[in-house]
Amino acid sequence: MLVALVLLVAGCRIGSPPTPTPPISASPTETLTPAGDVLRINGVPVRRIVIPSASIGPIFALAADTLYRMEKGTWTPIGNDRLGRHYLVDPEDLERVFRGRHRVCGGSPPEPDVPMEESKDGGLHWRQLTLGTNIEPMLFDPNDHEVIYGADCNSLVISTNAGNTWSRIDPLPGYSIVDVRLIGTMLLVLGINPVGTSALSAVDVTDPHTPEAGGILLTANGKARMDATRELIVVAGAGSIHT
């Protein structure tokens, strides 16, 4: 089976009951529109947009510190997120959302801890996952949506119980993990090190409870991004292309 990769340069016990997202005064906005190469809502650049799948389309957007949800073709403000967390939406249950972020890796002094939170009502209320601090959620396992893959500054992190507990594995020592993709039972892990070299590794997650890390598959100069399909492997980085 041929696998495709594109590298482009460029547990947790629930603490307190869910609490409402702090209200904000902004009224519903018009549909997000492009302005040059910057997406904006009401003139404010969008920091992050969340698209669970191509067939579903955008669900959330974060513009400045305001969190918006797409409702009937209109971006509606539903709260705020001053920490700029990454959002992971269950494509089979759009009301189920995780958000979290690890601190800036190697920052001095370190940033304050960033808690992970879960919503079961589409982002209206959130509850903190006490063992998910400084973890960035990245991917649901499509075969079991209780399994979540993510990263902190130093490790690949895996939860097999919807964020209640997390285990750690280090498939790329010395690299900060920036992306993960799942092809069958192989989890592709992309990282970047302090000198700016990107590396790709693979982790066997046939059983997510006992993941097995492989070696480094390739390295590329510069910051890289990744995409993957089952049909083709293409790796591009710093002016070079590998197939």
Q: What is the pLDDT of residues 137-183, one digit of tens each?
A: 999 999 999 999 999 988 999 999 999 999 999 999 999 998 898 98
pLDDT for 192-212, tens place per residue? 888 888 888 999 999 999 999
Q: How many residues does the chain have?
A: 243
Half-sphere exposure of 44 (CA within 13 A, CB side): 18
CB neighbour list of residue 201: distance below 8 Å, 6 or more residues apart: 171, 172, 188, 189, 191, 213, 214, 215, 216, 217
Residue with tokens 């340069």: 9
Residue 51 has pLDDT above 60, yes or no: yes
Enter the pTM of the model. 0.79
Quote the radius of gyration of the chain (alpha carbons, Å). Answer: 18
| pLDDT tens-place string over residues 18-37 | 554 443 333 333 334 444 56
- Would you call 241 exposed, middle or buried from its count of C-beta atoms within 10 A (0-12, 13-18, 19+)? exposed
